[in-house]
Amino acid sequence: MSEPLLTVEELSAWLRLAPQTIRNYVSAKRIPTVKLGRRCLFDPREIERWIEANSQRERDLSSVLDRLGRRRRSPAGTP
């Protein structure tokens, strides 16, 4: 049996983002959703794939910046 779909509130708690941020992502079509009537729900497996895909882009950006000789600033206190 598949995992239950998540609500905006459940997803925001899981991702540690404000519910409004999730709603903004939905409006901008930046996050995978399942629409059931007017309800917007989220498949946890699709969200995990979305996170992985977005994390990959972050790594690609870092490699491009490294090749250009620029490094993004590290948070204070880290090398």
pLDDT, tens only, 10-61: 999 999 999 999 999 999 999 999 999 999 999 999 999 999 888 866 666 6
**CA-angle at 25, arms to 48 and 14, nearest 5°:** 40
Q: What is the pLDDT of residue 70?
A: 58
Q: What is the pLDDT of residue 55?
A: 80
Q: What is the pLDDT of residue 2?
A: 75
Q: Strands, E, within 1-79: which ranges? A: 34-36, 39-41
Torsions phi, psi for 14 (to 5 deg)? -65, -45
Domain parsing of the chain, residue ranges: 8-67
Question: pTM to 2 decimals?
Answer: 0.68
Max Cα separation, the chain? 50
Which tokens sit at 49?
A: 């794939």
